[in-house]
Structure 1
Amino acid sequence: MSKMPKALSVLGIPVHVMSNYPGWLLECLQQGRGTHVVTLNAEMTMQAEQNKSLAQVIQDAELVIPDGAGVVLYLRWLLWQKVQRFPGIELAEQLLQEIGQQNTAIKVFFYGGAPGVAAKAAEYWQQEIPGLNIAGTHSGYHSLEEEEKLRETFRQVQPQVIFVGLGVPRQELWIAKNRHLCPEAIWIGVGGSFDIWSGTKTRAPAWLGNNNLEWLYRLYQEPWRWRRMLALPAFAVKAFVYRLTARGAIS
């Protein structure tokens, strides 16, 4: 097993830095090492400041990747780290492709999104990777009774890779509460990835992502998010002050 990735601190929240996240997760799969993957951005970091339960879940996660531009710029400009942004959707896509090439017997589950969205996302990937073993899908909108049935499905099916698209912080808290159902699985919070894969929404053009402006495209698509985007300047101010008074590396 490869060594644990190096952990740095962004406002007291760990971020793991390594060159090959998908490869590390494949090793976890091969060894039955249960893993919770958090895709950290500035908005989630600021939420964790107010939500202690979320902060604890992130602290306990085996892998926290630098998903957002704010997190990456913090690591580059304030900690002088050569870090590349690794969006959660790209991690999920690369992991699926690796699974398809190496072992299509691995069972994958899509949970979250509006009714029908996860199923359409699964159809997309089954077309992209013939033979990919998608063990099930489930909407994120359901009754408590349906959720208990979903938990029983996890107990019986034991999928090994579980993508949860419930939005932040719901998906992180849900994974932490339920990962014991499939203790050897890789659990990844993927936000709105199902919307992209299903064709419900489109992803920002590459040039925006390459210039750390994907958040601007998201705001264009979903203008109601403007209040949430206020977390970005707040993060910038907090990051500068925090860096003046705290060390960045935690391990």
Structure 2
Amino acid sequence: MTPAVSGQTLILILDRDPKRVNVLRHLLERERYQVVTAGDASEGLWSYRKIVLTDRPILAVVDMTLPSGAGMDVLRVIRSSPRGQEIPILAIGDPENSEIKIRTLTEGAADDFLEKPFNPREFLVRIGVLLRRYYQEEFRGLRFVFGPLTFDSDRMELRLEGKEIFLTPIEYRIVHYLILHQGFLVRKEDLSAALWSPDTMTEEDNLKVHICSIRKKLEDPARAPRFIETVRGFGYRFRKHWQEEPPLEKDSS
């Protein structure tokens, strides 16, 4: 495997387990990434503020089992920083704490969540997918108007009835991908493959969480979905024709 982008990528690992940090550092350095490590929240934020001043690609790996919810605090500080929305973040955490996973993904604090213990190869694959997603130039120049919805890819802006709607980076990519395939059924497998590695085991659950979050921001819960419809058992479709009152459907994401 080679680095996903040109120039040596900086990867920040914030994890309180020194043994796991050493393993991850070895894996990443073998793939020619430059690694910066931190064992607690304050050290992690100090390291982040230092490396963010460079113009090199950056990715953060954050342990969500830090004491007193410090992992989530770190993610929020990163996301609120000037460059924070441009940096991919992989959260790692315990499988039994599903609430942390859901919050991390729905709040846009992280782009992906990997449950411990994880396969080293899967870890490297997810790192590569996130770096390609953020640092490859693609999907440029699209301006799309659909009823009250306006989407501008160059400005990374989505407006509903003139009001700007905040999307997390991964929600933005989901909406963008579905718009590019407007009117066509997009299988869950294909959409997941565009967002995560096909080898990962939690893609579909992650995708459902993000679709639900997007709908909360765009749809009236008392009405049938006007923009993204579910084709049960198969995937999703961005509606081809605008209808103020689309046919009622039972939607389970």
Greater radius of gyration (CA) = 2
Structure (1/2) with the larger helix percentage: 1
TM-score, with structure 1 as normaliser: 0.33
Q: Larger RCO: Structure 1 or Structure 2 (Cα < 8 Å, ≥ 6 residues apart)?
A: 1
What is the TM-score of this pair, normalised by structure 2? Answer: 0.33
